[in-house]
Amino acid sequence: MTTTVSKEQRQENILLSLKKLGFLSRSQIQKLHRLGGERNANRVLKEMSEYLCSFRQNENIYYLSKEGRERVGCERVLKKTLQANHYLMRNDLYIACGCPSNWKAEVKLEIPAVVNVIADALFIRDDVYYIIEIDHVQKMSVNREKVKKYRKLLELNVFKKPPVFLWMTTTEYRRRELMKLCEGMNAKVYLKTDFK
């Protein structure tokens, strides 16, 4: 009986992670839910196949099926998309930051009629905002514009303490470009490969 309950609870927790984070790779689910080795993780996820959809991209990438969405009350419907990489990179930072409980994705920061910007994610730790930006296939001009808007928010002193900007990008060249854009800001730029 205890085994059945804990198995049910583990499945529920995995589905809730997918509800919160969208797409998760097998290895991310493995880390988040301490599933042990790859073989065990694959077994656990196979047992949940009724609730999951997946596609292959170096490893299996999972998201909620209709049954999975119904089980955890998720209204957002996801389909296999190139945008999944954006989610996966963001989730790598979520895990690296210790899975903050107040993590929120796609958050609008706005001073009406002055400036508004949508952060890819953010969380607050010790009264400090951590603003997450993912640069997967973004044009550098779009990043430049975003940084300009963050600088405007800083000028307007909207944060109690200076925020920390955490970027993740794909190449060393793009990391250097982002570091230049963020000069003078409390910013760290990681490569996707830093978390493998």
| pLDDT at residue 3, rounded to an integer | 63
Residue 4's pLDDT band, with cuts at 50, 70 and 90, is: low
Cβ atoms of 142 and 118 closer than 8 Å:
no
| pLDDT at residue 1, rounded to an integer | 47
Question: Rounded mean pLDDT of the chain?
Answer: 93
Cβ atoms of 23 and 29 closer than 8 Å:
no
Residue 191's pLDDT band, with cuts at 50, 70 and 90, is: very high
Q: In what side-by-side order are the strands of the sheet with 115-125? A: 104-111, 115-125, 128-134, 164-169, 187-191
Q: What percent of the chain has a predicted confidence (pLDDT) above 70?
A: 97
Answer whether residue 182 shows pLDDT above 70. Answer: yes
| pLDDT at residue 26, rounded to an integer | 97
| pLDDT at residue 81, rounded to an integer | 85
Contacts 24+ apart (CB under 8 A), 118-124: 120/86, 120/90, 121/90, 121/93, 121/94, 123/97, 124/100
Residue 83's pLDDT band, with cuts at 50, 70 and 90, is: confident
Token pair of 98 as six digits: 């210790």
Cβ atoms of 118 and 103 closer than 8 Å:
no
pLDDT tens readout for residues 148-176: 999 999 999 999 899 999 999 999 999 99
pLDDT tens readout for residues 125-155: 999 999 999 998 889 999 999 999 999 999 9
Residue 184's pLDDT band, with cuts at 50, 70 and 90, is: very high
| Average pLDDT value for residue range 28-50 | 95
Token pair of 20 as six digits: 């919160």
Answer whether residue 190 shows pLDDT above 80. Answer: yes
